[in-house]
Every structure is written in structure tokens, then in C-alpha cells.
């Protein structure tokens, strides 16, 4: 399936775009997506952490992604 | 409950006015401002980036959690700024009102502490000789 992934902050700089169109296996979990992204973009491994958000909520590692999901990478937040 | 994300200067007095409540004997406010140094480097300005829809949703959820923990909360207001901020600018305002003061201190601190942990907003510090996304690297 094709996922559209929104990128922010340092993740946007690492990938070089604010949106990433990614081909992933049809049965892809959040953990699998993180592995796939770290393989494509090794600089993501150097971050303190990064989370995946699905439909504006933090997603657990075992969540099975759907093509219609609104997916975003969430590098370490620093608001306030 | 008033939750806002804005790229315009925050009107602190308006946020305070929004938590005014005849049943409240205490209003507590946290105002986060841009300071001129960070880990020994001179900061020139900050750039805040937000994932708007999620940031609003998470800020609202934090306020709802506070309301559950402190059921006596009368009003809650959170306004976060995004975009380019200069030294001294207000980045975030949290205001709460409660019948008595102890709860207002506790609830206000809980809200700002939790916002800093979960809300998808990112701060880039600009120095005279470079810039860094805060907290990105260990």
C-alpha cells in the first residue's frame, strides 16, 4: 500500500520534505514502518526518540496501518 | 475550556479574562517566554513548528485530563504560539481558575508539564552561528 507520511522538525530536515510518499507492505505495523524508515534514513536512528502518530494520536508499535490513515512522524517534542 | 494555537502574538490579558469565573477564588497562570541563552549559547530567536491538528487535539486532551484530576477546575485556557519568536516573546500561556489556590497551582503545573511531554510542537533555536532542533539528539 501507499502511505503519505507528514514530517516535522528534524525529521523533515532529515528526509528533505514535509511529506513522504512511501510504498509499504499491505500488512505493515507501526514498528515495521519505523524499521523501514530507519533503513532508508539512517540519520533517524540518531534521534533521541521518534514516535508515529495515526489520525492525530500516538500509535502503539503493533498498530496495523491502513492506507487511509493520516500518518505522521513525531521526533522529540520541544514545545512550551 | 479554550484551546488555541496561533501564529500571532498572544494576548495574555485575553487568556486571563477567558478563565474568569464567579465561582473561582484563584486564577493561576503560567507564561512561557523566549530567553536569550540555552546551554551556554546565545539565542537570537526561536522558530516553533507545530503539527496543528494533532497539537490542538493533544492540548485539549491534557486539559481534559486535568479536569478529571481536579474536578473543581472552573475554567482552563491554553494558548501556544508558533512561527518565529524573538527574545522576550510569549510562547505559551496556561491559565486555570479554581475555588481555592492550592488546586490552581497544581493543575496549572500539571498542564504545562504534560504539554511539554506530549504536544507535537518543535522548537528550533537560532544562534549567531547556527541552529539546533531542541531535544532532537541525546
ipTM: 0.94
User: Quick check: is A38 in a domain?
Assistant: yes
Name the residue among A61, A4, A1 with its Cα closest to residue A34.
Answer: A61
Name the residue among B92, B78, B111, B125 with its Cα closest to residue B9.
Answer: B92
User: Quick check: is A6 in a domain?
Assistant: yes
**Cβ contact, residue pair B121, A79, below 8 Å:** yes
Predicted confidence at residue B104, as pLDDT, reads: 98
In the predicted structure, residue A39 carries a pLDDT above the cut 90: yes
Predicted confidence at residue B39, as pLDDT, reads: 86
Contact (CB, 8 A) for B52 and B125: no
Q: Assign residue A50 the CATH number of its domain.
A: 3.10.20.30
pTM score of the predicted model: 0.95
Confidence of residue B20 (pLDDT cuts 50, 70, 90): very high
In the predicted structure, residue B138 carries a pLDDT above the cut 90: no
Substitution target in A9, A18, A79 with the highest count of B β-carbons within 10 Å is: A79
List CB contacts (< 8 A) between A75 and chain B.
Answer: 122, 133, 136
Name the residue among A31, A24, A36 with its Cα closest to residue A62.
Answer: A31
Chain B residue with Cα closest to A54: B54
Please state the rounded mean pLDDT for residues B19-41: 96
Name the residue among B87, B109, B88 with its Cα closest to residue B98.
Answer: B109
Candidate from A9, A46, A56 with C-beta closest to B49: A9
| Domain interval for residue A52 | 2-74
The x, y and z cell numbers of residue A41, run together, are 534514513
User: Quick check: is A79 in a domain?
Assistant: no
In the predicted structure, residue A46 carries a pLDDT above the cut 90: yes
Report how many domains make up chain A.
1
User: Quick check: is A80 in a domain?
Assistant: no
CATH of B2-127, one of 3.40.50.620, 3.40.50.720, 3.90.1170.40, 3.40.50.300: 3.90.1170.40
Candidate from A48, A72, A79 with C-beta closest to B123: A79
Amino acid at each position: 500500500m501507499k502511505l503519505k507520511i507528514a514530517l516535522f522538525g528534524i525529521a523533515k530536515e532529515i528526509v528533505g520534505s514535509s511529506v513522504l510518499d512511501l510504498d509499504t507492505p499491505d500488512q505493515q505495523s507501526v514498528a515495521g514502518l519505523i524499521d523501514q524508515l530507519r533503513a532508508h534514513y539512517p540519520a533517524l536512528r540518531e534521534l533521541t526518540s521518534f514516535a508515529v502518530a495515526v489520525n492525530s494520536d500516538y500509535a502503539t508499535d503493533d498498530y496495523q496501518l491502513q492506507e487511509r490513515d493520516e500518518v505522521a512522524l513525531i521526533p522529540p517534542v520541544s514545545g512550551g | 475550556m479554550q484551546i488555541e494555537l496561533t501564529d500571532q502574538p498572544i494576548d495574555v490579558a485575553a487568556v486571563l479574562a477567558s478563565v474568569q469565573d464567579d465561582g473561582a477564588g484563584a486564577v493561576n497562570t503560567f507564561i512561557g517566554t523566549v530567553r536569550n541563552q540555552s546551554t551556554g549559547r546565545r539565542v537570537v530567536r526561536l522558530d516553533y513548528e507545530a503539527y496543528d491538528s494533532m497539537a490542538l487535539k493533544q492540548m485539549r486532551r491534557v486539559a481534559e485530563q486535568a479536569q478529571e484530576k481536579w474536578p473543581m477546575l472552573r475554567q482552563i485556557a491554553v494558548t501556544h504560539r508558533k512561527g518565529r519568536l524573538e527574545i522576550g516573546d510569549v510562547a505559551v500561556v496556561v491559565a486555570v481558575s479554581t475555588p481555592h489556590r492550592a488546586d490552581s497551582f497544581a493543575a496549572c503545573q500539571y498542564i504545562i508539564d504534560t504539554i511539554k511531554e506530549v504536544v507535537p510542537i518543535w522548537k528550533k533555536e537560532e544562534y549567531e552561528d547556527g541552529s539546533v532542533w531542541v531535544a532532537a539528539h541525546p
